[in-house]
Structure formats: structure tokens, C-alpha cells
Structure 1
Amino acid sequence: MHLTLFHVLDLLAKSTSIILLAFATLSVWRSASAAQRCAVWLAAFLVLLLLPLTLLWQPYWSIALQQLEKAAPPPVLPSEVLQSAADTFTLAAPPAPSGFQLSFSAGQWLAFIWLAGCVILVAYRAIGSLQLRRLMSQSQPVDDIRMLSAAARIAAESGVRRAIALRISSHVTVPLTWGSLQPVLLLPASASQWDDDSLEAALRHEMGHIRHGDALTRLIATFITAFYWPNVLVWLAGKSWRAVQEQAADDLVISSGAAAENYALQLLEAARGVQAAGGLRAPVMAMVQPSTLETRLSAIMDGSRNRSSYSLRGAVTGLVLASGVLALCAAAQLSAAPEASAENPLKTKANKLIIPSMKLKGASLEQAVAFVRQQATELDTEHKGLNIVIEDPDHEKDVEITLDFITIPISEAMHYIAELSNRKVRYEPFAIFIGPANTPAKLVTRSFKLPDGGAAKIGNAKTWLSQQGVSFPDGAAATLTPDGTQLIVRNTEAEQQNATVLVEALSAGKAVAPASPVTAPAGKPSPLEAKAAAIIIPQVHFQNATGAEAVEFLRLRSRELDPDKKGLNILFRAEDMPANASISLDLRDVPVSEALRYTADLLGLSLTVEPYAFILKARANK
């Protein structure tokens, strides 16, 4: 084997072992804070940086290759035949080449390709430095007293003693920082309009990067990644390191007393700005990058997360473990994900479960439903029963139900209970709903004139209105005219009023575009929705719980049941949550997505799915 090729394979094998060891360390050390995880990655990348030096004194491994069997001697041919063959060879031989002929071995070609990749990646980083110079030239020093005093105070609190160039620019949408020796903190022009809490959160996040020296470590990681570019694991490690650097900066913000809900919503708004601007490619540390937002939001909303600052424990642990990388024997145990179960046929199940005797006299709706729930659990061979949800419990709550049946299916029992309480039964995939039997309202058709560009902001008319809280009963519809100048809506009078408010807001230039900037194709759930549907909660039991208590329960259970232990990001504004609302739910084996939707319905809130979070909002008619 060629010596250069051996060097390449040796470095690839050892770098792979180092990265796998770092991932294994962090997987075992689950309680480590983001700052401590940064220390482990710093140790791993320093080992990678020094790894090529080991080739200077480390003896080469001897690799036994299977040798070819010794060929038998050629048969002795008559001299006439040999002479004929020589003549033939001489005639067929090509003329000797004139000029220079380049010849490379396989190992040399491999080294050349490796070197070319390194040069390209370093050149790409150099181009990024030119972009930073342009950003610097397009910015101006901050002269706002409020912003300057806040930056000075936060720098002192963060332990940053170096001089920081605080600048502002209309060419960026989120706060940025860069510079290893002379840090630059660049704020968007809109920062002058931010409230004190938002400004402090942004400054503290970027000051965290400066305090941790992330600009220098990212520069080192860039050159190390360029050197080991054929190794995919090094790229993944660099991505993971950048992600925990952002979480470590987030931890400083949360530890300072910032409200997690408000900070998470601030990051969501910043991510929309980055996506609207077409992304950010310069080698800077932005306050938010959409690619890492989901993980960051999960960490921000996790109240039990370790947010301790940097310590030597992580660095020492990483260096000690990395020193034994060549003796590491990696083992991985893979488990197949459980197959998704088919949709629960609740109506079929309710037809099959037969109540032997049902006697109710003057029972309330809650008492009647509780009796059916108990019977369903007892009769079900798996003792899971049925999820039955009462919608609008205050609707005709004084009704009295009297029934006397023998051997009646639960589906029929629910039908009679609904009839006696002026309600109707609705079967959904994971729950049976019994709600008020309101007569359908009259549908009317109206047209709305749209402003220039309004059709482009709306996209799908019905989807846009639904995301803003407009309901569509049977027969209702919404569409755009072919020229995009009018919105045609057929709906109830009440919902038409909501549509009017939304179109007026759109004409006034207010932000009423669909809440999710990235919409999944029709009929195909987003990755977040798919994840929420895959997490099954064994039992959900609320008894007069507040909205905040219900949401917190779903957050905690989703994190406990998620194989990755990340859970789901569920956000709401305190002012949107009904003050005196209380909900009661009793569900079994229900997906988080369904439990969350039921919770939103009972609270009278709309549920919006964004790429990285579920958002509970007040409906448009509230």
C-alpha cells in the first residue's frame, strides 16, 4: 500500500474514532449543560488538530495483504515462434512519446484530491471574510444612549472586558457578532424600536458568544473541518458544536431572568426575518438560524435543563476519553421504531362493547358520561376503554337524564344520552365528542377587494382564513378570483365579519399572512405534526385544570415519551389564555397532536403549526 494512501486512511480512521467517542460521551453525560458540551467538543477538535503530528513518531502498522500465487514459468517455445512474436511486437509498438508525460500513483491522486478540497473550503471561508468586510462598511456605529448603556452594562455582567464595536445596519435582520481579536456586535436597524427586554435578550445572547470565544473556536473548527473534509462525521460534529454554542448563549439569557416564553417567541420572529431575507451565509454568529431553531426552543422551554456555565469538567472529561480513542471498541444497538398503528375505529369499538344493564335516573351529563367511560373500561379486553370528551360542559348543564336499558351497545347509549341532553355525538380518530346540537347557520356569499400583492400573501384562500381562526362549517368555502383581485367567501354571517376584519388588516399592511412561512403540501403533515402524532400519551386526565397547567402537562409528557427526549415546543402568550377557563379531559392512548387540539378547542383558542413549534392563539373573533 502506498505510504500517502496509508496516511489518509489512518487519519480518517482515527478522526472517526475521536468523533464517535465525543458523541458517545455526550450521549452518556445527558445532564451536561450546553457550556459543558461545548468543552467536550473543544477537546475533541483540539485532538483532531494535533492528530496529524502523531504521524511523525508513531510507527506504521503493518498490513498483511494476500499475495498472488507465483505464476508458473512460461512454456519453452521453438525459436521460430519467438522470433515471429518479436517481429509482431516490434511492428505493433507505438512510437515513443515526444514531450513531457505526467504520471501519478493512486496515493498521489488521493492526496491531490484531498488538498484540492482543503483549498476550496478555505477559499470559501476567505470569501466569507470579504462578506464581513462589506457588512462592516455598510453599518454605522450605534449612537443611541439606551442601546450603548445596555450593551456596556451587559458586557460587564457577562465578564466581557474587551472593547466591542457596537454597530447598526439596515442590511441585516437579526443581531450578529464576529471577530476573534476585535469583536463586532451588529444590530439590525429595527433594534432601536425594540423594548428593553428584547434588546437585553439579544445583547446578552451575542455577548455570550464573545465571552465564550466562539468566534475563535469556530474559525479553528472551520480549518479542521477543511482538513478532514472527506469525513462526514467531522462535519456533523462541527454542526453539533455550533448548535450547543447557541444553546450556551441561550442559557445565559434564561439564567439572567428572561422569560422563556417571550425569548422563544422573539427567536421565532427573528427566524421569520432570516427566512424572508433568503438566509444568512456569512461566517457570523447570528442570534437565530432556522436550521437549529427547533432544538433551541426545546432547550429554552425545558425548565429542568442544566444551565450551569463553563467548567473544566467538560474539557478534562473530553481530553481523558479522547486519549484512549485508538483502544475504543464502538458498539451500537439499533432498535426498530414501532410500526404506526392503524387509525382507531372508535365507532366500531363502541358498537362491539355491550353494556349488560344501564339504569340512570335524574343523572347529569357528566354522571352519564362517567358511567359509560367506566363501563367501556370494564368491558374492553385491553381495559383501555373509550376517550369521551364533553364539549362546552356549561351548555344546558342542568339537564337530567333517565335511561333504563338491558344489553345496549355503547354507541347506542351515547346516542340516547346526546338526544336527552340536546347534543350530538361526533366520532374522531382518537376520541368521541358529545357537543351542543346547534342548528346550522345560514351561509351567505361576499366578495372582498384585495390590495396589490394581497393574493400572493394569501396563497390558498381557505387555508389562510382557517389559520387566522375563521371556521368553515359544511358548505362553506373561500377562493380567489383568477386575476387575484378579489376574495370570494361563502360562510356564516359571524365568520364573514371575521373575514372582513382580516381583509381590512391585510389592506392596512398589518401582518396577517399565514402564521407558518413554510407550509407542507396539502394532505401531508409537517415533520412537527408527524412527530406529535407519533407520541402517544397513555392517559390524559384533567379535572378543572387551567390552560397553562394543561399545556405544561402536554409539554412534560411529550418530552418523557419522545425517544430523543426533546419533546415538543408548545407556546402561547399569557394574554391569549382565558383567565377563568378550566378544562376537564379523560383520555387514554391519545397522540399528543390530538390531545393538544382538544385542549385548544376547549379553551376556545386556535392552534397554529409552525416549522418548530405549536402556537396557541386567541381566535380572530375574540
Structure 2
Amino acid sequence: MLLLALTAGLAALCRNRPPALRHAIWVAGLAGLVIMLPLSGLLPRLHLGLVAGGRAGLGPNLLLLAWLLPASLLLLAMVRNRIALGRMRRSAVPVSDPAILALAADIASQLGIRRSVDLVRHADPVPRTFGTLRPVILLPFGSDQWSRERLRMTLLHELAHVARLDAATGGLARFAAAFHWFNPLAWLSLRALGDLAERACDARVLANGAEPGAYARLLLETAREAAMGRPGWRGAAAMTDAENLEGRLRLILGRASREDRPRPVQLAAVTALAALVTLGLAPLRGEAPTHYGRLPAQAASSVFSSE
């Protein structure tokens, strides 16, 4: 709770900074959350003595079970969604138009993407991206009738997700939310991460020459088409989301800065801060040691007498 509260506070302090920087802050906080549990088993324990120590009884074991069951169900849902995406990928039609493939290759080179990216078409009306090692960009069936400018802006947005590794960071957020399902801040972080990823991709589209008015119209048109289609696939980044579209449009049409990625020194500072906070919190224990308050000789005596 404390780690995510600090992360949310830092992100709020940077609310006027580029979305990519705030996204990096949330990613660093979530990474610390995921590694804190195994790290706490490796570091020496620092007992705070807030509650009495002792062996776990029936109550703590029941609490452990109450935590484990929802976490397991959420992890199974992640696996099921990934299987559904793989099934959808196999049923999709590969894009074979040489002009579209050449445009995608040119944009990928422009964004510094070296991995192979699959372009496919499906009945889903909203462009989507998923996959980390072998990314897949899903285009609607009617995309072959789009103008070159619309196709370019759409591919810029989706390939920006690939360049930023948003599939991996989104998976990290869902994994953290599954294990920390009882923590409202974990779900807040999952929602914030998805919203900031879309805004960061918007900024990258604008930074690569898209006209703000034309790009805003594209998002509105895509949202209109999405309203007539089927519900989206979980685990795939969609180009539009009705919940955050208004805020994105305000940012696109009114932004003064076109900075689309955090600076290396900012990333280094965020990573170092997250590492220090995680290392500082991981050893802490709220309970007292078993022989808390006894002299060493008394503690040893009680151990030997019990044996």
C-alpha cells in the first residue's frame, strides 16, 4: 500500500509532465511491487514490533486461503485471455498489400523497431496491438479502403505500442493486480497505466508529423466505428477507449509540448528511486520477533527447555 501510494503521489506531482514519464513512474512502482515479495525472503528481517509475533494459527491460514483463491482465478483469467488472443491470431487474415507492408516497415524503422511485426485483419472494428516477442497489429477488414494518411496515423499509433513495449508493461500491471487484488491502488495503477500508454502513443504520433486536428478526427471516427462492433479483447491495447477519449482529445488539440518520451536522466532517476524504496520496504515486518523483549540468555533458555 505504501509503495503504490508513493508511486501515485509522485505521478500526481508530475501531472504536467509528458505522459510517457508518468507511465514510467507507474511501471517502476509496479515492478517494485512484484519483486518485493521474493525480495523480502532474501533480505534480513527488520521487525517493527507493531503486533505480537508467533506461529500462524487458523485465522492467518484462512486469510492466506482467502487471498490465494481470487488471485488464482485472476491469473487463470489472464491465461484464458492469452489463449483467446492466440486463437484470434490464427483465425486472422495476414495483410498482403505491398503498399501497406512497405508503409509499416518504414514506420517501424522510423521508431527504431527491430523485431518482426505481424499485420493481420480481423472483424474487430478497432485497431489493436498485442504480443511482446512477436507483436501482432490487428487491423479491421475495411482498412484496405482507408486513405494513406489514416493508415499512416493508425500504424504510427499501433507501432508506438510495440516500440514502447506496452504489451509487457500491461502484463506486468495485470499480474500485480492479480496478486494484490485486495488493494484498490493496484487496480488504480492498472487503469492509469493503460490510459497513460495511449496518451504516450498519441504524443509519439504527433511528434512524428501527424496534424493534431486530423489525428483527433481519426480517433473520433475510430470510436464511432467501435461503438457498432463487438466488445474488445482483453489483453490487447485498443486505439480508442470511451472512458479516456475526451481527455486524450483535449491533450492532442491543446498540448504545447510534443515531448513523446522521457529523457534518460529521468528514467534513471525514477528507476533508482523505485529501487531504493523497494529495498527499504522489503525487509520490514509488522510483527515482533518470537522472543521480542527477552534477553538473549532467556530466549535461548526457553528454546532449549521447550525441546
Q: Residues 274 and 289 of structure 1 are in contact (CA less than 8 Å); yes or no, is this contact kept in structure 2?
A: no
Please give the alpha-carbon distance, in whole angstroms, between the structure 2 residues aligned to 1:54 and 1:163. 35
Shift of 1:293: 1.1
Counterpart of 1:132 (choices 85, 92, 104) is 85
Please give the alpha-carbon distance, in whole angstroms, between the structure 2 residues aligned to 1:303 and 1:132. 35
Shift of 1:185: 1.1
Letter in 1 for 2:103: A
Matches within 5 A, 1:567-578: none
Structure 1 position 263 matched with structure 2 position 248? no
Counterpart of 1:300 (choices 240, 244, 252) is 252
Q: Residues 39 and 312 of structure 1 are in contact (CA less than 8 Å); yes or no, is this contact kept in structure 2?
A: no
Counterpart of 1:224 (choices 176, 179, 183) is 176
Letter in 2 for 1:127: R
CA spacing shift, 1:58–1:208, aligned 2, 3 Å: same
Counterpart of 1:153 (choices 73, 91, 106) is 106
Please give the alpha-carbon distance, in whole angstroms, between the structure 1 residues aligned to 2:31 and 2:13. 21
Instruction: String of CA shifts for 1:280-319, please: whole Å, max 9, x gaps.
Output: 1321011112122122112111231352323333433333
Q: Residues 124 and 230 of structure 2 are in contact (CA less than 8 Å); yes or no, is this contact kept in structure 1?
A: no
CA spacing shift, 1:18–1:313, aligned 2, 3 Å: farther
Letter in 2 for 1:224: A
Report what 1:283 is aligned to: 235
Counterpart of 1:121 (choices 47, 55, 74) is 74
Instruction: String of CA shifts for 1:522-581, please: whole Å, max 9, x gaps.
Output: xxxxxxxxxxxxxxxxxxxxxxxxxxxxxxxxxxxxxxxxxxxxxxxxxxxxxxxxxxxx
Please give the alpha-carbon distance, in whole angstroms, between the structure 1 residues aligned to 2:62 and 2:277. 32
Q: Residues 177 and 183 of structure 1 are in contact (CA less than 8 Å); yes or no, is this contact kept in structure 2?
A: yes
Report what 1:163 is aligned to: 116
Tell me the TM-score normalised to structure 1 length. Answer: 0.42
Please give the alpha-carbon distance, in whole angstroms, between the structure 1 residues aligned to 2:171 and 2:243. 20
Who wins on radius of gyration, i.e. which is larger?
A: 1
Shift of 1:324: 4.0
Letter in 2 for 1:216: A
Report what 1:236 is aligned to: 188
Q: Residues 43 and 315 of structure 1 are in contact (CA less than 8 Å); yes or no, is this contact kept in structure 2?
A: no
Q: Residues 39 and 314 of structure 1 are in contact (CA less than 8 Å); yes or no, is this contact kept in structure 2?
A: no
Q: 1 or 2, which has the higher strand percentage? A: 1
Report what 2:12 is aligned to: 27
Instruction: String of CA shifts for 1:350-382, please: whole Å, max 9, x gaps.
Output: xxxxxxxxxxxxxxxxxxxxxxxxxxxxxxxxx
Instruction: String of CA shifts for 1:319-340, please: whole Å, max 9, x gaps.
Output: 344434769xxxxxxxxxxxxx
Q: Residues 22 and 318 of structure 1 are in contact (CA less than 8 Å); yes or no, is this contact kept in structure 2?
A: no
- SS of aligned partner of 1:60: strand
Please give the alpha-carbon distance, in whole angstroms, between the structure 2 residues aligned to 1:37 and 1:134. 34
Letter in 1 for 2:136: V
Higher relative contact order, structure no. (Cα contacts within 8 Å, ≥ 6 residues apart): 2
Q: Residues 34 and 176 of structure 2 are in contact (CA less than 8 Å); yes or no, is this contact kept in structure 1?
A: yes
Aligned alpha-carbon RMSD (Å)? 1.9
Report what 1:450 is aligned to: none
Instruction: String of CA shifts for 1:9-29, please: whole Å, max 9, x gaps.
Output: xxxxxxx21122122212222
CA spacing shift, 1:167–1:183, aligned 2, 3 Å: same
CA spacing shift, 1:173–1:193, aligned 2, 3 Å: same
Please give the alpha-carbon distance, in whole angstroms, between the structure 2 residues aligned to 1:122 and 1:34. 28
Q: Residues 20 and 197 of structure 2 are in contact (CA less than 8 Å); yes or no, is this contact kept in structure 1?
A: yes
Report what 2:161 is aligned to: 209
Please give the alpha-carbon distance, in whole angstroms, between the structure 2 residues aligned to 1:192 and 1:130. 28
Report what 1:59 is aligned to: 46
Counterpart of 2:270 (choices 282, 303, 318) is 318
Percent identical pairs in the alignment equals 28
Q: 1 or 2, which has the higher helix percentage? A: 2
Q: Residues 26 and 193 of structure 2 are in contact (CA less than 8 Å); yes or no, is this contact kept in structure 1?
A: yes
Q: Residues 207 and 258 of structure 2 are in contact (CA less than 8 Å); yes or no, is this contact kept in structure 1?
A: no
Please give the alpha-carbon distance, in whole angstroms, between the structure 2 residues aligned to 1:128 and 1:274. 20
How many pairs were matched up? 273
- SS of aligned partner of 2:232: coil
Q: Structure 1 unaligned segments of length 5 or more: list them.
A: 1-15, 66-103, 328-622
Q: Residues 180 and 216 of structure 1 are in contact (CA less than 8 Å); yes or no, is this contact kept in structure 2?
A: yes
Please give the alpha-carbon distance, in whole angstroms, between the structure 1 residues aligned to 2:254 and 2:75. 38
Shift of 1:54: 4.0
Please give the alpha-carbon distance, in whole angstroms, between the structure 2 residues aligned to 1:231 and 1:282. 21
Please give the alpha-carbon distance, in whole angstroms, between the structure 1 residues aligned to 2:51 and 2:177. 31
CA spacing shift, 1:165–1:278, aligned 2, 3 Å: closer
Please give the alpha-carbon distance, in whole angstroms, between the structure 2 residues aligned to 1:192 and 1:155. 19
Counterpart of 1:247 (choices 171, 193, 199) is 199
Shift of 1:172: 0.9
Q: Structure 2 unaligned segments of length 5 or more: list them.
A: 282-307
